[in-house]
Amino acid sequence: MTLNIGVIGTGAIGREHIRRCSQVLQNARVVALNDINRSNCEQIVRDFDLQAEIYDNAHDLITAPEVQAILVTSWGPTHEAFVLAAIQAGKAVFCEKPLAVTAQGCMNIVEAEMASGKKRVQVGFMRPYDSGYLALKSVLESGEIGEPLMLHCAHRNPEVGDAYTTDMAITDTLIHELDVLRWLLKEDYVSAQVIYPRKTRKASSHLKDPQIVLLETTKGTRIDVEIFVNCEYGYDIQCEVVGEAGIARLPEPMSVQTRRAARLSTGILTDWKKRFIDAYDVELQAFVNNVLSGNMTGPSAWDGYAAAVAADACVAAQRSGNIEPIAMPARPAFYD
């Protein structure tokens, strides 16, 4: 049984997902492509030796009878419309983050999906598929460290370009923690505060870097996330959970330990693409498997909405300097 997939958007991420479907995953076949630039599609067909139709209109791809599932990897502002169209066409859809550029857009998708009566949407949050986060969650669920009370996290990039703005620390960077920490704790957020430490001289003049985001959850668990996107030394994701009886820490990526030049050391990644490279494979295979088995278990439209609501509050907190509430409606039973 093979899933026939249509891909909307063949930029860097789209291309990677097409490679995955063609060369890594089981039971996936890319049969249709769309891009605002048709020649990108032609190039990909050649590169991966695909038997795939090229559509000039994404909506035609969505409704094409040979297409069973859609990957949305186009420009962010187009996501909402394509996902809604896929739902309307009764097709499963994997949408790269953001699900929509506003919380209301996400809610529109939630409502459409619920109205359609069936879960069809998976959002491209890959960290819940990372073996490190899965191992961490497993330790939490074993009860070994007791109930979680605090999380100390960091999201560090060696550098970012000049186009990276202060609010992108939330919408592009923190967004991953906003999703994965909800998943890890099974708790929603209730408030956010943002602190601006002394600024690194490596950051653009317009960018506040680093930032510290403080989150509070429904159970009172406190989370601090250091966001430092010009940290220079590497791409480094840290997550430490302090529980009532002990502490558990996200594993460092595997690395050869060396003794050399008076240092005992392991490597730190510098390229973010390598950090979760396996998780992307697992994430997309899970989507394929779930669509084929009819049981969607990945990050849902509701999860996309929850991340968007939290991100909005964090951006508000960036601007106000205050502790901002994060107000979420109760989760519909549909998403349990």
Which residues are near its own copies by CB under 8 A? Answer: 23-26, 131-132, 135-136, 138-139, 144-150, 152, 195-202, 210, 212, 214, 219-222, 224, 226, 228, 231-234, 236, 242, 244-270
Task: Please spell the DSSP secondary structure of 131-160, one letter per residue.
Answer: HHHHHHHHHHHHTTT-SEEEEEEEEE-S--
Place of tokens 């109205």: 115
Minimum distance from residue 249 beta carbon to its own copies (Å): 4
Minimum distance from residue 265 beta carbon to its own copies (Å): 3
Minimum distance from residue 3 beta carbon to its own copies (Å): 14
Shorter beta-carbon distance to its own copies: residue 262 or 330: 262
Contacts for 305 with CB less than 8 Å, ≥ 6 apart: 99, 103, 106, 107, 109, 110
Give the relative orientation of helices 12-23 and 277-293 as an angle to the nearest 10 degrees. 60
Shorter beta-carbon distance to its own copies: residue 102 or 258: 258
What single-letter amino acid sits at 47? D
What token pair was written down for 252?
A: 């460092």
CA nearest neighbour of 215 among 246, 238, 237, 194:
194
Minimum distance from residue 111 beta carbon to its own copies (Å): 33
Minimum distance from residue 2 beta carbon to its own copies (Å): 11
Shorter beta-carbon distance to its own copies: residue 120 or 182: 182
Q: Between β-strands 189-195 and 53-55, what pairing exists: parallel, antiparallel or unpaired?
A: unpaired
Shorter beta-carbon distance to its own copies: residue 35 or 216: 216
Shorter beta-carbon distance to its own copies: residue 12 or 323: 323
In this structure, are residues 100 and 79 in contact, taking their beta carbons and an 8 Å threshold? yes
Minimum distance from residue 78 beta carbon to its own copies (Å): 31
Minimum distance from residue 147 beta carbon to its own copies (Å): 7
Shorter beta-carbon distance to its own copies: residue 246 or 325: 246
Q: Name the strands in the sheet holding 211-217, side by side, starting at the edge strand that comes first in the sequence.
A: 236-243, 148-156, 222-228, 211-217, 189-195, 324-325
d(CA 253, CA 238): 11
Shorter beta-carbon distance to its own copies: residue 39 or 322: 322
